[in-house]
Structure formats: structure tokens, C-alpha cells
């Protein structure tokens, strides 16, 4: 049974059960209640059979959905009329009103709610002088308002979620394409760039007396070295598309990345506070790529931290989500947090930090490091996020990767 059909069928089954139960409990003993019961049972069964046999395409039509809820409202009105208009039977109207939220169409739900109000008045018109009648009608429209609020909130949440996933898909597609193109471009440029760099070194050795020429050649060499670094990032970005998974310990790439970042920390007299668990942190990952992602976060922290500052590196195993329902599985992840006390990131830049070639350090770096790190983690089913209270308040980088059982 398709998913939407199952939801409509479940609601209709609940509606039928409540309707018949209330009628049996509150029916008028003097009337032909058995015949009325069989009428309600037959019509209710017909609605369930119709839902079971109707095609999914028809189920999506507004007129079918409206007809279903209007027929439920009519049955509720008939039941209310046959049962002496007992106040408890008003719950049938509330049930239909909240059931219209299944349509995911606010205007359609409001139109049905208006019709239900008319049926409510007609089914109990002789009680209009009773204050309880009007209290019931007010409660009916309070329910309509609440349903409208919930419906709009659900639609907004769905719209935001769609935008989020579309943006994430677009980013993944752009990174995948960029990685493929980058690898090819880097391979083609690497040869000519090496020639420029080597020739600049040779010419510098020949220009012992010409200091101006030596200075200009040194600038060429420095620019060539920077291009070499950018090419390395491009090649790394291309290599991400093919990962080689193996079982390992998450602490190992953290330790090797820390050893590689130590010179950067020492050069600025940065104090590192490292807190890793004693127990193993099993993962299934491409160890080399995970090392690169962690190294990138550490290098960023070293560049951002103040002279003589502090960088905190903490690793923990945590559970994501809530286990409020028995038997539900919570996702277990290993989380690495890198906190520096540096200059921080402006709020306007936080949403751009993972975009390829984005950098706040003009003339330094390629702007590909965080893009590559995010792509690495997403290929492993994990993620990376950056947060900063503001400029001058440091940065918090968080890396998460699924733990292996």
C-alpha cells in the first residue's frame, strides 16, 4: 500500500471506529437503532473499500480528498442527529477538522472546516438557544485556527527543509564536478609550472651580482610555490571522489595530523590542549583523506589563533537524536572539536566558508581546504561545521564521522 494511501486509510479507519463506537454508546433505544447502525457500518465500509481500490493518482486530486472529508462530516452530522446531539459527539467534528491536515492544503482544509460548521448548526439547530451550543461552535473554530497554525508551520518547515536539501545537493554536485575538473587541470598545469620554478632557481644562481634581478626571481619562485600549493589542493579535491575504506581508529589520523601541525603551533607559541579518550574510536574510512580533513582544521586553527594563544582539541563519541520511542536506533558518531581563541569569523562569512575558493585571507591559501574537508566527511557520511560568536571571539570547528559498531 503506497505511503499516502496508508495515511488516508489509517485516518478513515480511526474515524469509522470512533463514529460507530459513539453511536452504539449514545443511540436512542426507542428508535430503529439497529437499522441505523447497519447504515452507518455499510457507508463506512464503502469508504474504506473505496480508499483501498482507488488509484494513487485519484487520491492526490483535491476533489477526492474534499469528498472524503465532507462525507465523514455528513456521517458525523447524521450520527449526532440520531444520537440525541450528545456533547461528546462533537469530537467527531474535531476529528474531521484535524484530519483535513492530511491534505497539506490550508485553503482546502479551511473550506471543509466552514462546511463542517454549517453541518454542525443544521444537525443541532433546535439547540441554538442553549449557550453550550455556541460554546461548542466556538471550540470548533478554535480547533480550525489551531489546525491552520499547525498546517502553516508544517508547510514552512517542509519548505525550509526542501531548500536546505536542495542547497546541499547543489553543493555536492558542484564539488563533485569541481573535483573532476580540478584533477585534470592540475595535472596539465603541473608540468609547465615545474619548468617555471626550476628555471627561476637556475637564473637566480646566475644573477649573483644583480640584486634587483635576484629579488624579482625570488618573487617568481614564491608565486610558483603558491601555485604549487593550489595545485596540490586541486589534486586532493579530485582524489576525494575515489575513497578506499578500511577499518581503523579515529584517534590515529588525529594524532598524525597533530604531529604535522605542531610546527605551525610552535612558530606562534600556541598552547594546545588535547583531550582524546583512552578507548578506541573505531571507524570505517579512508585514513589518508580523514587525516587531510583534520589537518585542514588544525592548520586553520593555527593560522587564526593569536600569538601565544590556545587551541583546544577534543574528541568524544556521542549519540545523535532522541530515543523516545522503544526500539529506535540513535546514530553514534565520533566528534572532534577544535576551538581557537583567534580573530573569529564574521556572521556574514560563516555561510560562505565551505564554498570553493572562498577565503578571508587575501593572497594566502587557495580557499579549497574547507571545501575539500567537507566533501571528504560527506563522502564518509559525516559532516563539518564552523561557528563563531563573532569577530575577536575565536572559532569552533566540529567534525563528525559515523562510528563503527
Q: CA-CA distances (angstroms) from residue 223 to 185, 194, 231, 241?
A: 18, 12, 12, 29
Which pLDDT score, from 0 to 100, does residue 1 have?
42
| DSSP code at position 356 | T
Rounded to whole angstroms, the Cα distance separating 405 from 403 reads: 6
**Separation of CA 153 from chain center:** 17
- The 8-class DSSP code of residue 269 comes to T
Read off the pLDDT band of 372 (50, 70, 90): confident
Sheet with 395-402, edge to edge strand ranges: 271-275, 310-320, 331-340, 395-402, 383-387
CATH 3.30.565.10 corresponds to the domain 246-321+329-402? yes
Is 401 within 8 Å of 285 (Cβ atoms)? yes
Mind listing the pLDDT tens digit for each residue in 80-106? 777 765 666 666 777 777 777 777 676
Instruction: Please check whether residue 224 is in contact with residue 358, taking contact to mean a CB–CB distance below 8 angstroms.
Output: no
Is the distance from CB of 311 to CB of 378 less than 8 angstroms? Answer: no
**Cβ partners under 8 Å of residue 224, min gap 6:** 193, 196, 197, 200
368-393 average pLDDT score: 85
What do you get for the CA distance between the two ends of the chain, in Å?
34
Is residue 291 within 8 A of residue 253, CB to CB? The reply is: yes
pTM over 0.75, yes/no: no
pLDDT, tens digit (0-9, with 9 covering 90-100), for 143-183: 667 766 776 777 777 777 777 777 766 665 665 655 555 65
Q: Where are the domains of the chain?
A: 3-128, 170-239, 246-321+329-402
pLDDT confidence tier of residue 367, bands split at 50, 70 and 90? low
Helical H runs in 83-105?
A: 90-99
CA distances to 53, 79, 121, 181, 193 from 93, in Å = 26, 11, 12, 61, 77
Whether the Cβ atoms of residue 392 and residue 344 lie closer than 8 Å to each other = yes
pLDDT of the residue at 370: 83
313, 338 Cβ separation under 8 angstroms: yes
Q: Taking all residues of the chain, what is their mean pLDDT, rounded to a whole number?
A: 78
The predicted-structure confidence for 2-57, as pLDDT tens digits, reads as follows 466 888 888 888 888 888 887 887 776 656 778 888 888 898 889 889 888 888 88
Give the model confidence (pLDDT) of 234-270 as tens digits. Answer: 666 656 666 788 999 999 999 999 999 999 999 999 9
Strand bridging mode 310-320 / 271-275: parallel
Pairwise pLDDT comparison (360 vs 46), residue with the higher score: 46
Q: Which residue's entry shows cell 474531521?
A: 96
The full length of the chain comes to: 405
Question: Which residues contact residue 333 at a Cβ distance below 8 angstroms, ignoring those fewer than 6 apart?
Answer: 317, 318, 319, 320, 382, 400, 401, 402, 403
Cβ-contact 268, 305 below 8 angstroms: yes
Give the integer Cα–Cα distance in Å for 234 and 288: 16
DSSP, collapsed to helix, strand or coil, labels residue 404 as: coil
Please name every residue paired with 337 in a beta bridge, in sequence order, or none if there are none. Answer: 314, 398
Neighbours of 201 (CB within 10 A): 14
Amino acid at each position: 500500500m503506497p505511503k499516502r494511501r496508508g495515511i488516508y486509510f489509517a485516518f478513515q479507519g480511526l474515524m469509522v471506529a470512533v463514529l460507530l463506537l459513539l453511536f452504539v454508546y449514545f443511540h436512542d433505544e426507542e428508535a430503529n437503532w439497529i437499522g441505523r447502525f447497519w447504515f452507518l457500518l455499510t457507508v463506512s465500509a464503502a469508504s474504506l473499500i473505496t480508499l483501498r481500490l482507488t488509484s494513487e493518482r485519484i487520491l492526490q486530486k483535491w476533489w477526492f480528498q474534499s469528498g472524503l472529508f465532507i462525507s465523514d462530516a455528513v456521517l458525523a452530522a447524521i450520527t449526532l442527529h440520531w444520537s440525541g446531539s450528545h456533547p461528546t459527539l462533537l469530537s467527531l467534528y474535531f476529528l474531521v477538522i484535524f484530519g483535513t491536515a492530511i491534505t497539506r492544503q490550508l485553503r482546502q482544509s479551511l473550506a471543509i472546516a466552514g462546511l463542517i460548521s454549517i453541518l454542525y448548526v443544521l444537525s443541532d439547530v433546535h439547540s441554538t438557544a442553549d449557550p453550550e451550543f455556541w460554546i461548542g461552535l466556538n471550540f470548533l473554530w478554535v480547533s480550525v485556527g489551531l489546525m491552520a497554525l499547525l498546517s502553516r508551520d508544517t508547510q514552512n518547515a517542509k519548505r525550509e527543509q526542501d531548500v536546505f536539501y536542495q542547497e546541499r545537493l547543489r553543493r555536492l554536485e558542484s564539488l563533485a564536478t569541481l573535483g573532476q575538473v580540478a584533477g585534470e587541470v592540475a595535472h596539465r598545469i603541473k608540468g609547465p609550472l615545474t619548468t617555471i620554478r626550476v628555471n627561476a632557481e637556475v637564473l637566480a644562481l646566475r644573477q649573483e651580482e644583480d640584486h634587483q634581478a635576484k629579488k624579482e626571481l625570488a618573487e617568481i619562485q614564491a608565486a610558483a610555490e603558491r601555485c604549487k600549493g593550489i595545485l596540490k589542493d586541486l589534486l586532493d579535491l579530485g582524489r576525494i571522489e575515489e575513497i578506499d575504506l578500511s577499518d581503523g581508529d579515529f584517534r590515529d589520523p588525529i594524532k598524525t595530523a597533530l604531529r604535522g601541525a605542531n610546527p605551525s603551533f610552535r612558530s606562534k607559541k600556541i598552547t594546545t590542549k588535547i583531550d582524546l579518550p583512552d578507548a578506541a574510536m573505531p571507524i570505517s574510512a579512508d585514513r589518508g583523506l580523514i587525516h587531510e580533513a583534520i589537518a585542514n582544521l588544525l592548520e586553520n586553527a593555527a593560522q587564526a589563533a593569536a600569538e601565544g594563544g590556545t587551541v583546544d582539541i577534543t574528541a568524544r563519541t556521542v549519540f545523535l537524536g532522541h530515543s523516545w520511542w522503544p526500539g529506535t536506533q540513535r546514530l553514534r558518531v565520533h566528534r572532534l572539536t577544535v576551538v581557537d581563541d583567534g580573530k573569529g569569523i564574521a556572521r556574514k562569512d560563516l555561510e560562505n566558508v565551505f564554498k570553493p575558493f572562498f577565503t578571508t585571507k587575501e593572497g594566502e591559501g587557495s580557499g579549497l581546504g574547507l571545501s575539500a574537508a567537507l566533501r571528504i566527511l560527506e563522502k564518509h557520511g559525516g559532516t563539518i561545521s564552523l561557528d563563531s560568536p563573532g569577530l575577536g571571539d575565536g572559532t569552533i570547528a566540529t567534525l563528525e564521522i559515523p562510528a563503527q559498531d
